[in-house]
Amino acid sequence: GYPFHSSHPIFSLSPVNLESLQKQFDELANFSDTPAPSVTRILFTENDVLARGYIKELMGKAGLSVREDAVGNIFGRWTGSDPELGAVATGSHIDAIPYSGKYDGVVGVLGALEAINVLKRSGFQPKRSLEVILFTSEEPTRFGISCLGSRLLAGSEALVNGIKESVDDQNTSFFDAAKSAGYVVSEENLSTVILEKGSYFSFLELHIEQGPLLEEEGVSIGIVTAIAAPASIKVEFEGNGGHAGAVLMPERNDAGLAAAELALAVEKHVLETGSMDSVGTVGIIVLHPGAINSIPSKSHIEIDTRDIDEKRRDGIVEKIHQSSIDIAKRRGVKLSEFRIVNQDPPAKCDHLIINALEVAVRQLNLSHKMMISRAYHDSLFMARVSPMGMIFIPCYKGYSHKPEEYASIEDIANGVNVLALTLAQLSLE
Ligand code: GLV
Ligand code: MN
Ligand code: MN
Ligand code: MN
């Protein structure tokens, strides 16, 4: 049982292979739809498939047995001496939003594989099986659904239904996109993805902080205590459109201005909570027909709002809904869609895993602090089916979701060591 420090002797870890790990980051970043230093890797595109192949090859080289499920979650397993026990898993994602960087998610996949290699080089023998997971589409870019793979693994009924209707902006269905990437998935076998209860004894994710605190404070490791609650909303307004010169101002019902006004309302409602933990973003506004001399007859806007406090976040969502109704009414446009795509609760990290991480950072002599994750991660959903913990490492100025994202190989190696030691300890529980 826990805690570990008394029950298991410390063994010494072989060093992380900095050179080959750095090379892997550089090589994986080449699978991108946009030029370096940016990375764009969208679910089931050619570059995503190539990157998946790259990871599967690394899994094979590490001696893991590789399995893929129907939606393309990839599992690499190191079978323990007691394979009947729940496994200890770790992983993250390699999909990348348009013009982002090469560390978001990737640190938790390449880092996990290096942690396995470190343990193997150290002569460690796991009791519980250890597993590295690459999750399908943590980013909502293509189908509008965040954490698609982990949501399904965790058994989201809403998603099993929602995914059937999902199409990308080219009107390609999720099922067809998956097929083009070599996966056979349909309504019939979708539920085979859902994990059986007790599959995992624990789940860990290594990730860049995506915030500035660790770097600013000169701290090596962040131990995450909770993940903030995300929500996303799609809204559409419809007006009559018309000629930009001929239709006089009093005669207009401009769907574009309704969207602009709603975007400002989102900011207002978020600021109104008075809490620094409330955030809201309008990252997408699309106007139809999109001509300079045509009044927008349709607008489409996508809203992301999050808070560590679920009730407060729900309050923001409710106010955004009310504003959408009010704006439509006042501007004489139709609110043709108000769809909450997801409104997820926050997740708490498991306190026993937090203890294990504290033991590991102490053994490694690394500075650490407790922190919340404002970004969401596959861990948000893995927490529904397994005790969960997250390890943050510093990243340059907290930059993320942009090309300037950077983490030094030394900071990554610290994270790999913490992960390796914690996986080892949990595997012996
Ligand atoms: C996902 O990467 C998010 O936190 O937005
Ligand atoms: Mn991301
Ligand atoms: Mn990520
Ligand atoms: Mn994320």
- For residues 135-161, average pLDDT: 93
Residues whose Cβ atom is located within 5 A of ion ligand 4: 375
Residue-level pLDDT at 165: 87
Is residue 137 pLDDT above 90, yes or no? yes
pLDDT in tens, 27-81: 999 999 999 999 999 999 999 999 999 999 999 999 999 999 999 999 999 999 9
Examine the predicted complex and report whether its ipTM is higher than 0.85. yes
The CATH 3.30.70.360 portion of the chain extends over: 229-343
375 in ligand 1 pocket by Cβ < 6 Å? yes
Which of 43, 279, 377, 405, when mutated, tests ligand 1's pocket best, judged by the most ligand atoms within 8 Å of its CB?
A: 377
Pairing relationship of beta strands 74-78 and 65-68 according to DSSP bridges = antiparallel
Classify 4-228+346-427 by CATH class.
alpha beta
Q: Is 139 in the pocket of ligand 1 (CB under 6 A)?
A: yes
* pLDDT score of 3: 42
Type of residue numbered 154: A
Phi, psi of 342, rounded to the nearest 5 degrees: -155, 145
Residue 1 has pLDDT above 90, yes or no: no
Specify the pLDDT at position 8.
53
Task: Record the tokens describing residue 272, joined without a space.
Answer: 């109104």
Task: For the chain, give the percent of residues with pLDDT over 70.
Answer: 98
Structure tokens belonging to residue 400: 């993320």
CATH number assigned to the domain covering 229-343: 3.30.70.360
The percent of residues in the chain predicted with pLDDT above 90, rounded, is 94
Per-residue pLDDT at 158: 82
Distances (CA, A) of 226 to 178, 349, 367, 383: 32, 5, 20, 10
For the cut 80, the answer to whether the pLDDT of residue 360 exceeds it is yes
Ligand nearest to the CA of 401: 2
> Residue 230 CA: which ligand 1 atom is closest?
4
User: CATH 3.40.630.10: which residues of the chain?
Assistant: 4-228+346-427
pLDDT of residue 300: 98
Q: Is 344 in the pocket of ligand 1 (CB under 6 A)?
A: no
pLDDT for residue 319 is more than 60: yes
CA 375 to ligand 1: nearest atom:
4
What's the confidence (pLDDT) of residue 320? 99
Mutate to test the pocket of ligand 1, among 39, 146, 207, 308 (most ligand atoms within 8 A of CB): 146
- Residue 376 beta carbon below 6 angstroms from any ligand 1 atom: yes
pLDDT of residue 382: 98
Q: Could you tell me the pLDDT band of residue 160, with boundaries at 50, 70 and 90?
A: confident
Pocket test for ligand 1, best of 136, 281, 401 (most atoms within 8 A of CB): 401
In single-letter form, the type of residue at position 39 comes to: V
Give pLDDT, residue 6: 40
pLDDT at 380 over 90: yes
User: What are the structure tokens assigned to 341, written together?
Assistant: 């795509």
Q: In angstroms, rounded to a whole number, what is the distance separating the alpha carbons of residues 125 and 423?
A: 11
Residue of the CA atom closest to atom 2 of ligand 1: 139
The pTM of the full predicted model, rounded to 2 decimals, is 0.95
pLDDT tens-digit readout, 280-296 = 999 999 999 999 999 99
